[in-house]
Amino acid sequence: MALSDAILTRLLTLHPKIIDLSLERMHSILEKLGHPEQHLPPVIHVAGTNGKGSTVAYLRHIMEAAGLKVHAYTSPHLVKFHERIRVAGELIAESNLTALLEECEAANGGEPITFFEITTAAAFLAYSRTPADYLILEVGLGGRLDATNVIDKPALSIITTIDYDHQQYLGDTLSLIAHEKAGILKRGRPAIIGVQPDEARAEIERVAERVKAPIAIAGQDWQAYEQHGRLVFQDEDGLLDLPMPQLKGRHQIDNAGNAIAAVRKLDDTRITDRHIADGLKATSWPARMQRLGQGMLSNLVSPESELWLDGGHNPSAGRVLAQAFSELNDRHSRPLVLVWGMLNTKDIGSFIGSFAGVASRVVAITIPDEENAVAADVLAAAARKHGLPAETASGIEAALKQAALSVPAPRILICGSLYLAGRVLAAHGNEEMTKVSGAGRR
């Protein structure tokens, strides 16, 4: 076990709740650490329900194509905790992570603090001590009371598409959820607003007006769409004709649009249209409609089969995934078999219902070593309720072997949870996972 693993496991004991939204503990530890949040490069703060990670990835790759140094903070991790903290373009080194965690643990002095709060403080320390041109900072959960929301004057804020998720913390209407997400908007600081349901957009506009934050809204102030196999972006400054993103799925046009709109709003002369194009072509982001290549798991299915992975886990993620694979089937027809696992904090019926008429079979599994996993037989029953033939399997490998029996050779999609996605990536690459659950510790 890596030393950082042992420290992370110890940090879990400092607060009885996984999630306890508040800024008081965060302000306290940052004061003890000498306020690293006040010594950061220009911050781009990103909130939303869907597309946060992809938007961050597009932004980072565009900026790096321009030769800029970029810090990036994302969560949850999939395989290794180090994925969360990217320092000047590189994943944080084990020795650096260990030293920072120990420093934060000592400064906290055993006081109650959540896992996400203390690890976010460690990330701020890392970013404050290494020069960079920008920090792209992804919200962990919500926005208003999220541990990242201690930045008073971000260079720019972004709110990606909002949908139902984490209702137990954020509220049970889109308006309430949007209110929490819009809590990252700061007085006088510009913001990019991605494609939104009407109810969410209206609430974001209300919050923006109250804090006098100038906003640019998708479909109103800027547009991103596909035309003749190209991505077209248009705003008040003109039109860009760009290559389609490397990431798959029509929803990635929206996510790329968020990043392009952000770059245009920053008006950084170091970033040209050519850098935007190069960044779109270079962007990768694991477990987002990812086609798995050769590895341990691909050996379990025939060479003619396709093996895909996606960590989307809420109703809108189910809808965009189903649409994407329906369109893929229109171009190249073959049966779609889902290998499906989810957590009990998610709306399993709304997720799987989107695949009715799209998937030919469902193989349900209980996510391994996850106390909040929905039992495979419960998932299978939910799938059958939506008219999908469903069976269960004892684990990931068994599920793939069962899925591979479809004739002709199927398109297999492993889906339903970022935690499941992490398990899959670790097994496929024969890697050891960080012991602390990625999905459970935002």
Tokens representing 336 are 């779609």
User: Stretch 22-26: mean pLDDT, rounded?
Assistant: 94
Q: Which of 339, 335, 340, 348 is nearest to 386 (CA)?
A: 348
User: Stretch 5-10: mean pLDDT, rounded?
Assistant: 92
pLDDT in tens, 294-332: 999 999 999 999 999 999 988 888 999 999 999 999 999
CA pair distance 66, 23, nearest whole angstrom:
35
CATH of domain 290-428: 3.90.190.20
CA pair distance 306, 334, nearest whole angstrom:
10
pLDDT, residue 440, reads: 44
Which residue type sits at 257? Answer: G
CA pair distance 88, 92, nearest whole angstrom:
9
CA pair distance 235, 214, nearest whole angstrom:
15
Query: Is 90 exceeded by the pLDDT of residue 180?
Result: yes
pLDDT, residue 104, reads: 98
Ranges of each domain in the chain: 3-282, 290-428
pLDDT, residue 278, reads: 98
The CATH class of the 3-282 domain is alpha beta
Mean pLDDT, the chain, integer: 94
pLDDT in tens, 190-238: 999 999 999 999 999 999 999 999 999 999 999 999 999 999 999 999 9
Which carries the bigger pLDDT value, residue 257 or residue 372?
257
pLDDT in tens, 405-431: 998 999 999 999 999 999 999 999 999
For 118-149, give the DSSP string. HHHHHHHHHHHHS--SEEEEE-SSSSTTSTTT
Cα separation values, 137 from 8, 66, 202, 249, 439, Å: 21, 19, 24, 24, 18
